[in-house]
Amino acid sequence: MTITDFLFFVFAGMVIMSALGVVTSKNPVHSIMFLVLTFFCSAAIWLMLEAEFLAIILVLVYVGAVMVLFLFVVMMLDINIVKMRQGFVSYLPVGIAFAVVILAIMVWVVGPASPDVSNTAALHQAVTHGADYSNTKMLGKIIYTDYVLAFEIAAVILLVAIIAAISLTLRRRPGTKHQIPGEQIKVKRDDRLKIISMEAEVKK
Amino acid sequence: MTAEIITMGSLNIVTAMPEIFLLIMACLVLLVDLYLPAEKRQLTYLLAQLSLIITLVLMLMNPVTHTTLAFNEFYIHDPLSQVLKSFILIISFGVFVYSRDYLAQRNIFKGEFYVLGLFAIAGMMLMVSANNMLMLYLGLELLSLCLYALVAYNRDNAKASEAAMKYFILGAIASGMLLYGMSIIYGLTGSLKFTDIATAVATGTNSAQHIGLVFGLVFIVVAIGFKLGAVPFHMWIPDVYHGAPTVVTVFIGSAPKLAGFAMFMRLLVEGLGGLQADWQQMVIVLSVLSMAVGNIVAIAQANLKRMLAYSTISHIGFLLLGIIATTPDGYAAAMFYTISYALMALGGFGMIILMARKGFEAENIADFAGLNQRSPWFAFIMSILMLSMAGVPPTLGFWAKVAVISAVIDVNMVWLAILAVIFSIVGVFYYIRIIKVMYFDEATENTPIECGRDMQLTLSTNGLAILALGLYPAALMALCVSVFK
Amino acid sequence: MENLYLAIPLAPLVGSVIAGFFGAQIGRRGAHTVTILGVAVSFVLSLVVLYQHLYQHAPAVNATLYNWMIVGGIQFQVGFLIDNLTVMMMTVVSFVSLMVHIYTIGYMSDDLENWPKDSLAGVNSYQRFFSYIALFTFSMLMLVMSNNFMQLFFGWEAVGLVSYLLIGFWAVRPSAVYANLKAFIVNRVGDFGFMLGIAAVVMYAGSLNYADVFAKAHLMSTETMSLFPGHNWNVVSVICVLLFVGAMGKSAQIPLHVWLPDSMEGPTPISALIHAATMVTAGIFMVARMSPLYELSESALSLVMVTGALTALLMGLVGIVQNDIKRVIAYSTLSQLGYMTVALGASAYSAAVFHLMTHAFFKALLFLAAGSVIIAMHHEQDMRKMGGLKKYLPITYWTSLIGSLALIGFPGFSGFFSKDTIIDVVHHSTTGGHGFAYLCVLSAVFITAFYTFRLFFLVFHGEPRMDAHTKAHLHEPPWVVWLPLIMLAIPSVFIGGFTIGDVLFGNYFGSAIYISPHHEALAELGKHFHGAWAFMQEGFVGPAFYLAMFGVFSAWFIYMKRPEIAGVIKQKFALIDTLLVKKYYVDELYAWLFGGGSRLLGKGLWTFGDVRFIDGLLVNGSAQLVAWFALVTRRLQTGFLYHYAFAMIIGLLMLFGLGLFR
């Protein structure tokens, strides 16, 4: 076992453990922290596969931006954990049973029992490159040439997501009180203050 | 293979002109709508319809004498895509016509509906024209995302929001499974392209690799089953059809079935045709379960939208029969069935939209009581639609059923044909019940049917087309057969 | 050219659709104008086609217009076969139909009286009637112009449908409803045979197209089929017999004749058009069209001949004792159809079709004349209440005389040429049963003459027996009624002598009718044929002429000279009289055997099969099962998201099971 193999197993193990933590921890904030850990370990595995760009992006975008946002949202919402966990125990045995069955199938299909699967082209030993090889450059090239259509459509999907999110959440409620700065600035003295002349009165 | 310099010519961009145009128009509609005052919103609608028509024209102008590839073989233009996309556009056109009055009556006549609709149509077209797994997935996601948003479109309706949530989460699970299956197939064959996958599958796989492929295949079948709504991946259909605004239901229930059919053809027939023996078994089970559950549970429904949802499930079972035959005739029959079904669903939900008015959704079967007294013509149209769905001659639905059933008989699966016939007989009950209710029950109210002339005309055309195509099925059948020559 | 052919049947269809669907809008005048226009168009175009075929010797056209569907290699098409046989039928059908359309204007003008005051069915009945007869014309033309069995069957059923609708036209009369049901049900029996015949054709020839089937006829005649183990039957014979069963139903041959007399419940114009001139001859036409098949089956020909002979004789006998003016003519129609069928059996297809044509004219004439009498008599149809109408209805009288003379085959009238030929052909025929048939057709000549002139004398001569009120209002009906009478009288006199040379002994039919070299009775006759004039002269010395004259004389003697004799004969031969009046008890037999039998069977099936087994066990049982299942499965739709997701996982595992552990 080389050092890379060892590191792989460490990170892979952490990915699995922290993923389990996401679904089992009682506190949603903890769940999110576990999710961050999962992403982080995945990024580490990618790094070991010389996919530096993807690893960095994962950390920057998911860990740095998406998850932080997520954390804000979760912390702002008052989630009733007890209610959400109702029935968790009663469904747990069935859930575990199914998970085990699926795990068994996966092991049987790609596990050590069928070594031929790992003998296919794509599952060969990861390709290694020299120090001058730029992962980022290669990705950039391929995205704007071979994969241009997929890239564009992915962009469209993001656009649709924006439209959908806005159209579902943006609402102008009638009767809400908000400031209109333009109106505020335009205000004149006469609008606010009225000077009336009246006779002086003397307290009797 | 990486092209250092790309040009318009090397991408063969002209071939994909319809989709490009449609996407541009979708963005344009979005922008125009932003600056339109509410009372001029009709322009958005007209612009959306116009873009559909022009897209159709652009596509029909593109000859399909042979298969054309574009965008570095990501995009394929062949007879299958030509026919399916034409019908997607025609049916979507109908959906938009049906939507206008309905949305206006409920004060939700907004540009987003058409923008999202156009994007969804573009997604379907991309799915149909996908030449590799990545494109198929992206097209599916584009479509699904729009549909999720459309289901929740009437956001003040709690039922719709619940339906959208369910649809979104289950859809995410299904698309996760699809992606997982695809990555396994990719890992084992080393390619995303359908033709390369087919070659890799055909040229020798040992038994362990075969098991790996089947493992991936199962996830893909699950995703396709979910998209089409086959049992046991059908659970979302009744809730979503019921919960969504009817105009969205008619959209989900019609055109995307064509895209789902294309997804099946591209992934399982073109790409994984070598694993036919494996997926055939699975599809048989899905088909039988769908026919059984769809037809039987539909009987117990009092809500017409739910009833039609279960009827959809049963129709999916029937259309899968054609694919099970795994012969060109069978595929043609399945395609014929899909197109027929999409037209019938368009009309069926269209009738519900027609009957609805401000503050009243005519979605219960009882709402159709005595329709004959209120509007004999639309009672007649509804009868045609119901008879067609039931598969009674001389309507289109009859020929569709005949085609798929004879397809399975041709491959000596007589037992399957017998089951299909039995379930279609069970199904006749709930369709005929609608006719009974319309003609023999007393009307509970006597308000005349009120809706726009365009809607009446389109719906009548829709119903009569089903009758006419039933009387002269040869042309449509020939079209479907020619695709799989 | 094909558009021309297509226009011929479609013109009446258009008229029918307009009159039928928009009758209320266009009114009576609009309805009869549009339908008459439609039929007139087909008549004129038929004449054009006739001219092309007669004088320009246009070749036969066999064209397929539309491929409806292809199932299992069998093509279902719409197509036309236009040869000389078709052309003749087209002209006859459209001409008689046109006459009847015009006549109907007069006959149905007071139709409102036939309906109860508040009857909904009486609304626009006039327009509906025109729509029906125009639809009939379309169907009949489709039938005769067909080039394949499917379209033939379509026309066959469509004319049957219209016949059903028209017999029961006055739906408020129970007798009319009974009659149309009877016609419909009896025709079902025939049509069932016909359908089996077509099925056999498809099975053995693999095509519905006449040309393909005829091309394979010889091949099929060498094949056998065994319906019951141990009995091998010739395929062509089976096909021919089955097809003839269809013809028996449509052309009312014994034993499926019972519906035709009752069909007189319908308005008289349709009795003339449908139940005398055209529809009932569809069976004759069909057999003539199928001559290449029938020629290969001796046994089928024998069956055809004997059936025809029996019908010709027995139905004529019943005609003697009828008192309803229309029923007498109806029985005479049965008898004449028997003549045509005999001719078919003797392989003299052209003689049968020739008689079909002449009969169409003079029988339509007789019916329309009877209708004219009925109009004048205010819808009184009993001959015993008529008499002496000669001076009130001169045109009707003279045209009736022409029709009657044509019917009895008086030399010179068109009926003579066709009927005498049939009798001679049967005499020379070699088909099995020809001796018996000859005896039948010869004696039927006497009977025909007798009942025809019995009717003639009872109606037009002797003392008037109607009540004073009717008598006071007797007058000749309007021109729309008598014009068709005259128009039909002309061909009733002349068409026979004019065309006999070409049609029977010339080469008019060409390849349209095939006669095997073994069955050349007609050709034998042709050797002694020296023109219509000589044929007529020979007619005066033949036995048929004297029999006919004797029949006329007997009728005159019994009903005019010594009316008391009729009563005496009736008493002396009470047994035979009752037998004839009861129409050989066939109706009673059918009512008892089939009516009662099927009711018994039905009741048995109902109580045991339906109520207990099907309703109880299968329908309610399965419905309950389904309902229970639906209820249970509906519960699965809990509405909980994780249940749905769970169902998907179960499905996933199920597919794993299928895919991985096979």
Dihedral sign for Cα C232, C235, C239, C241, please. negative
Give the helix/strand (H/E) hosting C231: strand C231-234
- In this complex, is the C-beta atom of C112 within 8 Å of any C-beta atom belonging to chain A? no
Q: What confidence score (pLDDT) does residue B65 get? A: 77
Instruction: Name the residue with higher pLDDT: C78 or B53.
Output: B53
Mean pLDDT of B330-359: 92
* Ramachandran sector of residue B384 (left: φ over 0; alpha: ψ -120 to 50; beta: rest): alpha
Q: Check A98 against C653: CB less than 8 A apart.
A: yes
Q: What ipTM score was computed for the predicted complex, to two decimals?
A: 0.91
Q: What is the pLDDT of residues C43-68, one digit of tens each?
A: 999 999 888 888 888 888 888 888 88
Q: Check C641 against B285: CB less than 8 A apart.
A: no
Minimal C-alpha gap between C26 and chain A (Å): 57
- In this complex, is the C-beta atom of B211 within 8 Å of any C-beta atom belonging to chain C? yes
Secondary structure (H, E, C), chain A: CCHHHHHHHHHHHHHHHHHHHHHHCCCHHHHHHHHHHHHHHHHHHHHHCCCHHHHHHHHHHHHHHHHHHHHHHHHHCCCCHHHHCCCHHHHHHHHHHHHHHHHHHHHHHHCCCCHHHHHCHHHCCCCCCCCCCCHHHHHHHHHHCCCHHHHHHHHHHHHHHHHHHHHHHCCCCCCCCCCCHHHHHHCCHHHHCCCCCCCCCCCC
3-state helix, strand, coil in chain C (%, to 5): 75, 5, 20
Residue C13 has a CB neighbour count (10 Å cut-off) of 18
Is the Cβ–Cβ distance between C492 and C413 less than 8 Å? yes
**Domain with B165 in it:** 5-483
Q: What is the pLDDT of residues C469-490, one digit of tens each?
A: 777 777 778 888 888 888 888 8
Mean pLDDT of B46-62: 93
- In this complex, is the C-beta atom of A69 within 8 Å of any C-beta atom belonging to chain B? no
Q: Provide the 3-class DSSP secondary structure of residue C529.
A: coil
| A162 band by pLDDT with thresholds 50, 70 and 90 | very high
Residue C195 has pLDDT above 60, yes or no: yes
- Lowest-pLDDT choice from A109-118, B234-243, B309-318, C52-61: A109-118
- In this complex, is the C-beta atom of B278 within 8 Å of any C-beta atom belonging to chain C? yes
Is the Cβ–Cβ distance between C363 and C273 less than 8 Å? no
Residue A123 has pLDDT above 50, yes or no: no
Q: Provide the 3-class DSSP secondary structure of residue C509.
A: coil
| B3 band by pLDDT with thresholds 50, 70 and 90 | very low
Which chain B residues have a beta carbon less than 8 Å from that of C655?
218, 221-222, 282, 285
Which residues are CB-neighbours of B271 under 8 A, at least 6 positions away?
B133, B185, B194, B197, B198, B201
Q: What is the pLDDT of residues B159-200, one digit of tens each?
A: 999 999 999 999 999 999 999 999 989 988 889 999 999 998
What pTM value is reported for the model? 0.68
Closest by CA position to A167, among listed C21, B117, C451: B117
Percentage with pLDDT > 90 across chain C: 10
As a whole number of angstroms, the distance between CA C6 and CA C151 comes to 14
Pairing of strands C74-82, C61-71: antiparallel
Residue of B141, B217, B218 to mutate for A, most A C-beta atoms under 10 A? B141
As a whole number of angstroms, the distance between CA B443 and CA B445 comes to 5
Q: Check B217 against C659: CB less than 8 A apart.
A: yes
Residue of A nearest to C656 (CA): A105
User: How far is CA C61 from each of CA A50, C97, C119, rounded to the nearest angstrom?
Assistant: 81, 24, 49
Q: What is the pLDDT of residues C588-622, one digit of tens each?
A: 888 788 778 888 888 887 787 777 777 777 777 77
| A145 band by pLDDT with thresholds 50, 70 and 90 | confident
Q: What confidence score (pLDDT) does residue B96 get? A: 94
Give all chains having 3 or more CB-to-CB distances under 8 Å with chain A.
Answer: B, C
Pairing of strands B75-77, B68-70: antiparallel
Minimal C-alpha gap between A114 and chain B (Å): 6
- In this complex, is the C-beta atom of C653 within 8 Å of any C-beta atom belonging to chain A? yes
Minimal C-alpha gap between B9 and chain C (Å): 44
User: How far is CA A44 from each of CA A34, B139, C568, rounded to the nearest angstrom?
Assistant: 15, 31, 126
Residue C214 half-sphere exposure toward CB, CA atoms < 13 A: 18
As a whole number of angstroms, the distance between CA A106 and CA A117 comes to 12
Domain count, chain B: 1
Beta bridge partners, C63, equal: C80
Which chain B residues have a beta carbon less than 8 Å from that of C644?
166, 170, 235-236
- In this complex, is the C-beta atom of B116 within 8 Å of any C-beta atom belonging to chain A? yes
Residue B55 has pLDDT above 90, yes or no: yes
> Of the candidates A91, A98, A105, which has its C-beta nearest C660's C-beta?
A105
Which chain C residues have a beta carbon less than 8 Å from that of B285?
654-655, 658
Mean pLDDT of C388-394: 82
Minimal C-alpha gap between C151 and chain B (Å): 15
Is the Cβ–Cβ distance between B352 and B246 less than 8 Å? yes
Q: Check C653 against A102: CB less than 8 A apart.
A: yes
Inter-chain contacts counted by CB atoms under 8 A, chains A and B = 107
Residue A123 half-sphere exposure toward CB, CA atoms < 13 A: 17
Q: Check C651 against B166: CB less than 8 A apart.
A: no
- Tokens 């019943």 appear where? C318
C394-408 helix and C349-376 helix, angle to the nearest 10 degrees = 150
> Of the candidates C626, C637, C656, which has its C-beta nearest B299's C-beta?
C626
The tokens for C550 are 């004797």
> Of the candidates B30, B138, B207, which has its C-beta nearest A154's C-beta?
B138
- In this complex, is the C-beta atom of B1 within 8 Å of any C-beta atom belonging to chain A? yes
Which residues are CB-neighbours of C379 under 8 A, at least 6 positions away?
C114
Which chain C residues have a beta carbon less than 8 Å from that of A91?
642
Could you write out the DSSP letters of every residue in B333-344? HHHHHHHHHHHH
User: How far is CA A89 from each of CA A27, A30, A83, A96, B18, rounded to the nearest angstrom?
Assistant: 16, 20, 13, 11, 53
Residue of C646, C648, C654, C658 to mutate for A, most A C-beta atoms under 10 A? C646
Q: Provide the 3-class DSSP secondary structure of residue C67.
A: strand
As a whole number of angstroms, the distance between CA C373 and CA B239 comes to 74
Residue of A23, A85, A98, A110 to mutate for C, most C C-beta atoms under 10 A? A98
- In this complex, is the C-beta atom of C661 within 8 Å of any C-beta atom belonging to chain A? no
Is the Cβ–Cβ distance between C460 and C389 less than 8 Å? yes
Count, residues in chain C: 662
Q: Check B215 against A153: CB less than 8 A apart.
A: no
CA end-to-end span of chain A = 106
Residue C101 half-sphere exposure toward CB, CA atoms < 13 A: 35
Mean pLDDT of C400-407: 89
Q: Check A91 against C642: CB less than 8 A apart.
A: yes
Which residues are CB-neighbours of A146 under 8 A, at least 6 positions away?
B1, B2, B3, B72
Instruction: Name the residue with higher pLDDT: C255 or B205.
Output: C255
Q: What confidence score (pLDDT) does residue B397 get? A: 94
- In this complex, is the C-beta atom of C641 within 8 Å of any C-beta atom belonging to chain A? no
Which chain C residues have a beta carbon less than 8 Å from that of B470?
none
Q: What is the b/e burial string over C577-606, where b = at least 16 CB atoms within 10 angstroms of the residue's CB?
A: eeebeebeeeeeebeeeeeeeeeeeeeeee
Residue C653 half-sphere exposure toward CB, CA atoms < 13 A: 14
Give the E-state strand segments of C155-230 in sequence order.
224-228
Is the Cβ–Cβ distance between B288 and B419 less than 8 Å? yes
Q: Check C660 against A109: CB less than 8 A apart.
A: yes
Q: What confidence score (pLDDT) does residue B2 get? A: 46
* Ramachandran sector of residue B12 (left: φ over 0; alpha: ψ -120 to 50; beta: rest): left
Phi, then psi, of B132 in degrees rounded to 5: -145, 170
As a whole number of angstroms, the distance between CA C258 and CA C315 comes to 10
- In this complex, is the C-beta atom of A86 within 8 Å of any C-beta atom belonging to chain C? no
Q: What is the b/e burial string over A183-200, where b = at least 16 CB atoms within 10 angstroms of the residue's CB?
A: eeeeeeeeeeeeeeeeee
Residue A124 has pLDDT above 70, yes or no: no
- In this complex, is the C-beta atom of A98 within 8 Å of any C-beta atom belonging to chain C? yes
Closest by CA position to C38, among listed C15, C6, C71, C5: C15
Is the Cβ–Cβ distance between B377 and B260 less than 8 Å? no
Check residue C58 and report its DSSP letter.
P
Residue of B nearest to C652 (CA): B222
Phi, then psi, of C492 in degrees rounded to 5: -60, -30
Residue B327 has a CB neighbour count (10 Å cut-off) of 16
Instruction: Name the residue with higher pLDDT: B43 or C624.
Output: B43
| C568 band by pLDDT with thresholds 50, 70 and 90 | confident
The tokens for C305 are 């001949």
Give the E-state strand segments of B18-99 in sequence order.
68-70, 75-77
The tokens for C208 are 């519905």
Residue B209 has pLDDT above 70, yes or no: yes
Q: Check B142 against A109: CB less than 8 A apart.
A: no
Mean pLDDT of C79-85: 88
CA C251 to chain centre: 5
- Tokens 């397809």 appear where? B407
